[in-house]
Amino acid sequence: MNGDWLLRGRDGRLTVYLPSDDAVLCRAELAPGGPWQATRTVGGDQKLRPGAAIGQGADGYAHLVAWRPTGSGQSGLVHSTHFRPRLAALDWNPVGHPDQKGDRTGTPAVAVDAQGRAHVFVRNQGGGVSVRAQKEKGGWDPWRDLGGAGVQGELAAVTGESGRIELYAATSDTLLHWRQETPGGQLVRAEETDLPVRPDTLCALATSAEHTTLFCTDTSGELCAWRPGGTPVPLLTAAGLGPVRAVRRAVAGHDCTVLAQRSASGRIAFAAYPTQAEPSGARWTESGPPSPADAEVALALDEHEEIVAATVSRSTGSLRLARREDEPGLALTAWREV
């Protein structure tokens, strides 16, 4: 899943969204902090192609986007909304194709603006990025080409604290950035910066009222942080090959950014540092048993604003959780399978 697949709903329950060969699955807590319900299929019985995306609005609603087959060598994007963890998600509804027709062009990304409208982003056949946004009163605006060229890997879409959406993408040697100048406005091409990065390592987080921060791994293996208006800052050596996940939480009274990544040893590595103070430095601490090679990690805050970490493996189907201990620092409970 492209995006944060571990989410807290409006009622405080956690939900995980899991890809399968031809569907998106979900599981939710029966009560906050309680047992989990069985796995369900999202959006009805439509068959999907691999590569789905998820985003969450300030209202707590989850928006999911995926490709579905529409004919021989043809695909189209579909969208579903999940209002509450224990309710069924809406059926998949068509969003279309950025080039009108064709096969998949890339993994989509989705973000939700201050008005609760989903914005769907995807690479187009020209190698740039296209967007289609929901209308406030139903339906969708036309597809719009945002420009760009040579875009590689997954996009990173994020909603800032102001409710304005920002989008990041990578080429072979450059990071690209788009943003809404006003809440609900059109996304415009903003500044870019030179940095060769590994594809599929982008992760964006709202880090202040004015800024979002992009985390990515450069081709030398350094995990870097970039806020438009500045230059990318090496933070620490990446623990592994995949993307990091990030969340903000007060630690010892300080606003901190907490990072998680599957390490080369297979264990989950955590690091924390004062938000937007990258020169302060950070270091990895590994946790739990080794996970399968295809395991992905996610971070969220539970109903008590405490950190929850999750891993999921498609090959084994296992979902594991660990929560922050009620003590100073970032100590976690033992990982348990749910």
pLDDT at position 316 is 82
Q: How crowded is the C-beta side of 298, counted as CA atoms within 13 Å?
A: 24
Reduced to 3 states, what is the DSSP secondary structure of residue 278? helix
The answer to whether 146 and 162 have CB atoms below 8 angstroms apart is no
Per-residue pLDDT tens digits of the chain, which is 338 residues long: 899 999 999 989 999 999 888 999 999 999 988 899 999 999 998 999 988 999 999 999 999 999 999 999 999 999 999 999 888 999 999 999 999 999 999 999 999 999 999 999 999 999 999 999 999 888 999 999 999 999 999 999 999 999 999 999 999 999 999 999 998 899 999 999 999 999 999 999 999 999 999 999 999 999 999 999 999 999 999 999 988 999 999 888 899 999 999 999 999 999 999 999 999 999 999 999 999 999 999 999 999 999 999 999 888 878 999 998 776 667 888 999 99
Residue type, 44: G
3-state secondary structure of 86: coil
Q: Does CATH place domain 6-337 in 1.10.10.1100?
A: no
Cα separation of 212 and 129, whole Å? 20
d(CA 258, CA 253): 14
**Residue whose tokens read 């989950």:** 268
Q: Can you tell me whether residue 279 is helix, strand or coil?
A: helix
Report residue 230 as tokens: 């500045």
Is residue 168 within 8 Å of 202, Cβ to Cβ? yes
- Where exactly are the structural domains of the chain? 6-337
User: Residues 6 or more apart from 173 whose CB is under 8 A from it?
Assistant: 194, 195, 196
Q: Check: CB of residue 299 under 8 Å from CB of residue 245.
A: yes
Cα separation, 133 vs 53, in Å, equals 15
**For residue 212, what pLDDT is reported?**
97
